[in-house]
Amino acid sequence: MMIEALLNEDVVREGDIAPDFELQRQDGGFFRLHEMLKEKNVVLYFYPKDSTSGCTKQACRFRDEYEAFKEYDAEVVGVSSDSLQSHQKFERVYHLPFTLLCDKGGQIRSIYGVPRRLGLLPGRVTYIIDKSRRVRAVYNSMSKPLEHIDTALEVLRNINSEQKQLA
């Protein structure tokens, strides 16, 4: 697995340039953040584990709202430390239309500064990144997985509005 990222000791915050990286997708290919941002805004969401209650609710809500994300010229990308096989099963069982990335060892989670809950559980954080690589919002809530979707759509609505005003 090749990782190209800025090593950053700090947490990635709103207004920062999103660190670039490359990770394996659930289909076995590779996802490169900078390549996706040439075409679309990105909703990058880190979640604890495939097929757990909160993570399944969150993924299914992203799935159910996927057309709205496309309307806002955005791609949803989920990241966890689960294996390729686990992601493939999660995608298949829940008919997920978006990319899941394998962050084995949690290197990208660490670069973005996604916290662990109680020092053990991987956190749940969503980053909304515009095409200029600017982090427009960060939403961190372990206990409210569905609010990640609402927050992302609201931020994307604002980005879309700004772009229309500039045109």
Q: Per-residue pLDDT averaged across 35-60, rounded? A: 97
- 134 Cβ contact list (under 8 Å, min separation 6): 15, 16, 17, 18
Q: Is residue 108 part of a domain?
A: yes
**b vs e for 127-164, b when ≥16 Cβ sit within 10 Å of the residue's Cβ?**
bbbbbebbbbbbbbebeebeebbebbbebbeebeeeee
CATH number at residue 83: 3.40.30.10
Q: Is residue 111 part of a domain?
A: yes
Q: Is residue 3 part of a domain?
A: no
Percent of the chain with pLDDT over 70: 93
More confident residue, 55 or 118: 55
Expressed as residue numbers, the domain containing 29 is 22-166
Q: Kindly give the pairing relationship between strand 22-25 and strand 41-46.
A: unpaired
- Among residues 18, 55, 59, 76, the one annotated as catalytic is 55
| 55: annotated active-site residue | yes
Q: Residue 4: what pLDDT?
A: 34
Q: Is residue 43 part of a domain?
A: yes
Q: Is residue 5 part of a domain?
A: no
- How many distinct structural domains can be found in the chain? 1
Distances (CA, A) of 11 to 44, 85, 104, 118, 136: 15, 30, 19, 18, 14
